[in-house]
Amino acid sequence: MVNFDLARDGTLSHYSVPMARHLNFCSLAFHALIGGVIWAMAFHLPAALKLPALFTDNMVLQRDQPDFVWGWDDPGTSVEVAIAGQTKTSKADASGKWSVQLDALKASSAPLTMSVKGSSAVEIRNILVGEVWMCSGQSNMAFPLGDADNAELEVAGMKHSGIRLITVPNLGTQEPQKDFTGAWAVCTPETAKDFSAIGLYYGRYLHEILGVPVGLICNAWGGSYIEAWLPRPVLEHDPHFAEIMEQVVKAEGRATSPKSIARYEQQVADWEKEAAEAEKQNLPRPKHPRDPRDFMPGNQRVGNIYNGVLFPTIGYGIKGVIWYQGEANTADAKVYELMFPLLIKQWRKDWNRDELPFYWVQLPNHGARTTELVDGLWPALRDAQTKATKLPHTGQAVTVDIGDGNSLHPKNKLDVAARLARWALAKDYGMDMPCRSPLPIEVTLKAEGKIALRFDSVGRGLVTRQSDSVTGFALCGADKKWHWAHGDIVDYNLVEVSSEAVPKPIAIRYCWTDNPECNLFTREGLPATPFRTDDFELVLPEKPAPAPPPPAASNGAAPAPAPK
């Protein structure tokens, strides 16, 4: 195991690794003495200078901010880092860790070389300086370009030497990892095919519009729970999550108990017999039993992904984060409402940047389209995501119109990335373009039983698609029974909604089903944000929506006000 801590500057403060080594000798008797000498010498030979996987050929450094470079060497060794005319020095501490802080560099498409000298010397070549973004979440972020819409065309066109890619492999552990296996690669059809489609489209927009290099770090994990992306101590010390932590401890006990393991082994033995019989009869093989121990390194266990996937990247210079996750947590929107803002704050604390941009994809439409108005898991989770926009320097890409009712993995990743890119271009790069989906800022009950909604962020105005009237609204009266309603755009930012079944409405909802039929957009093509004005206790289904399997890979908006 590897044990280490992260210093405030994003570097490692101490670590330890086991010293066990296995030597394979043709003749153990003949080589016993030699083996002993080699083993003894291992404690005296200087360790080679080592840098994390993030510092390899083809990397991108974040422009216009100081960037940390770190690594390891023999304790007490002086280390010198030189790049672009600047030289920084450090000394490996007692644990072997060293770090330097580079002065801010301007964007550069001209390849640079970084030399690092300590007990040995390393040169990192073909370095660019530009914008670096973290691409995190679950399977829809990991979803590869090679599986997206128009994959053949899009993959063939990914010839961008100014875009660089690196993927952090999935590793679930309770022990923070200092490094991972990987390396930066130039964006080519070969390297792009298996990389995040959303990440690539997002990076391509930035690269072509800003005219600077772009680095993309993909560390998504399909089906991952949000609690796995947070450090365990944070949840353990927060009373809001006491019940979750109690469940986690119980799950850990079940996963490792001799009784559970014995039961699993018996299930496997039974399965082998059933599978053999099915093969004889040319029938489908039964599903293999699940090993209870899979929970321990899995993507649901609190802290696992934070330690194994995120931690090795903390401190590397990035501009911001794009995030697509939530499907796995639809069982409890109330918890997500608390945990998602906590994650954003924690990551900002880790990078020591309170204003770290964080943009995410709201859950799309999914499942069977129905005319029944009942509380659903997906609209409740969407609402929890919208509430996180109250945090500064955040933004939400609404995608309730471009999902896939039949698949958890919509293939249209281009439009998703475009809506994320609007946030960055408008908020971080100073471009004048709409980025936020409309949301009511004023809700008024009119005398004739209509509810008037005045929206913000409407760009050049609200429009409908495929119908003159607005679909997707529902009203309720004092009986709290919901009925579909009719909506009309009466001004560029004003919609009036009414229903003959609800002469005296007290609340209104929009897009409040798993797969809603809705058609309110801005002229720029941004869909209105799903919302509700009520605070009724939601009656949600007992069974959670299925979590997606791993793939083959003023900002804030408060909830809409109640009618006046």
Q: Tokens in use for 59?
A: 């990397």
Find the helix or strand (DSSP H, E) in which 122 lies. strand 121-137
Helix (H, G, I), strand (E, B) or coil at 124: strand
Q: How many CB atoms lie within 10 A of CB 431?
A: 13
Q: What is the pLDDT along the chain (564 residues), one digit of tens a residue?
A: 333 344 433 333 333 333 333 333 333 333 333 344 333 333 334 458 999 999 999 999 999 999 999 999 999 999 999 999 999 999 999 999 999 999 999 999 999 999 999 999 999 999 999 999 999 999 999 999 999 999 999 999 999 999 999 999 999 999 999 999 999 999 999 999 999 999 999 999 999 999 999 999 999 999 999 999 999 999 999 999 999 999 999 999 999 999 999 999 999 999 999 999 999 999 999 999 999 999 999 999 999 999 999 999 999 999 999 999 999 999 999 999 999 999 999 999 999 999 999 999 999 999 888 888 878 899 999 999 999 999 999 999 999 999 999 999 999 999 999 999 999 999 999 999 999 999 999 999 987 889 999 999 999 999 999 888 999 999 999 999 999 999 999 999 999 999 999 999 999 999 999 999 999 999 999 999 999 999 998 887 765 444 444 443 333 343 444 445
CA 82 – CA 68 distance, rounded (Å): 13
Of 505, 524, 513, which is closest to residue 432 (Cα–Cα)? 524
Query: How many angstroms separate the Cα of 251 from the Cα of each of 69, 171, 257, 518?
Result: 39, 19, 10, 41
Report the DSSP beta bridge partners of residue 83. Answer: 86
Of 412, 438, 410, 434, which is closest to residue 421 (Cα–Cα)? 434
CATH 2.40.50.140 fits 3-218, yes or no: no
Q: Are 63 and 317 in contact (CB under 8 A)?
A: no
CA 445 – CA 453 distance, rounded (Å): 9
Of 530, 527, 526, which is closest to residue 512 (Cα–Cα)? 530
CA 346 – CA 311 distance, rounded (Å): 12
First to last CA, the chain: 60
What is the bridge-based pairing of β-strands 185-187 and 160-167?
antiparallel
Q: Are 144 and 551 in contact (CB under 8 A)?
A: yes
Place of tokens 């059933």: 274
DSSP assignment of 184-214 equals: -EEE-HHHHTTSBHHHHHHHHHHHHHH-S-E
Sign of CA dihedral 294, 300, 306, 312: positive
Q: Tokens in use for 349?
A: 């604390």
Place of tokens 């809700």: 443
Q: What angle do CA 292, 295, 297 make, to 5 degrees?
A: 130
DSSP strands (E only) in 377-519: 394-397, 439-445, 451-456, 462-464, 473-476, 482-484, 486-491, 494-498, 507-510
What is the bridge-based pairing of β-strands 451-456 and 494-498?
antiparallel
Helices (H), 302-438: 304-305, 333-350, 377-387, 414-427
Report the DSSP beta bridge partners of residue 475. Answer: 483, 508
Residue type, 213: P
DSSP strands (E only) in 262-393: 320-324, 358-361
Of 312, 357, 393, which is closest to residue 10 (Cα–Cα)? 312
CA 177 – CA 71 distance, rounded (Å): 13
Residue type, 415: D
Length of the chain: 564
Helix (H, G, I), strand (E, B) or coil at 50: strand
Phi, psi of 522 (to 5 degrees): -85, 165
